[in-house]
Amino acid sequence: MSINAPRGTQDILPGTSEKWQYVEQQLTDLCRRYHYKEIRTPIFEHTELFQRGVGDSTDIVQKEMYTFEDRGERSITLRPEGTASVVRSYVQNKVYGLPNQPTKYFYIGPMFRYERPQQGRQRQFVQFGIEALGSDDPAV
C-alpha cells in the first residue's frame, strides 16, 4: 500500500487553496451577475447517464471513465464532466415545468477521467461550467 496520493491527483495545500477560492469566488460572482444559480450534483451517477449524454462511442465513455459496480450490482461512474448531471437534475426535478425559463445554472466541482497524467492534465480535476436550459434562443 502506498501512502502517496494516487497518480493523477494532487493535494491542494494552504497557500494554493486560497488562490482556488479566489478564482471560484470570481466565477461565482460573475455568474450571479448574469442570473445563473449554482447547482451541485452527485460526484457519481449511473453509468448509463454518461453513455447516453456524452455518447457511447466517445473516448470519454470508451476509455476514460472510472466505472465500478456497487453492492447492488449497478454500474456507477465518477462524473467525467458536468453537463450530463445538470441536465439529468433539470429533468428529474421537473424544473422545465417551472415558470421563468430558461433555467440558468453554473457549477464548479471535481471531475474524474482515467487519462495519462501529464502537464495540465490530471485524473481528478476541477471543472467550471454554465448551462442555460429551457430556451430555443441561442442568445441566452
Whole-number pLDDT of residue 129 = 98
Whole-number pLDDT of residue 139 = 83
CA 16 to chain centre: 22
Spatial distance between the Cα atoms of 46 and 58, rounded to a whole number of angstroms? 17
Whole-number pLDDT of residue 59 = 62
Whole-number pLDDT of residue 60 = 67
Query: Is residue 61 pLDDT above 80, yes or no?
Result: no
Give the containing element (helix H, strand E) for 91: helix 83-92
What percentage of the chain carries pLDDT values higher than 90?
79
Spatial distance between the Cα atoms of 39 and 137, rounded to a whole number of angstroms? 22
> Does the domain at residues 37-133 carry the CATH identifier 3.40.30.10?
no
pTM of structure: 0.89
Q: pLDDT tens digit string along 74-115?
A: 999 999 999 999 999 999 999 999 999 999 999 999 999 998
Q: pLDDT tens digit string along 6-26?
A: 999 999 999 999 999 999 999
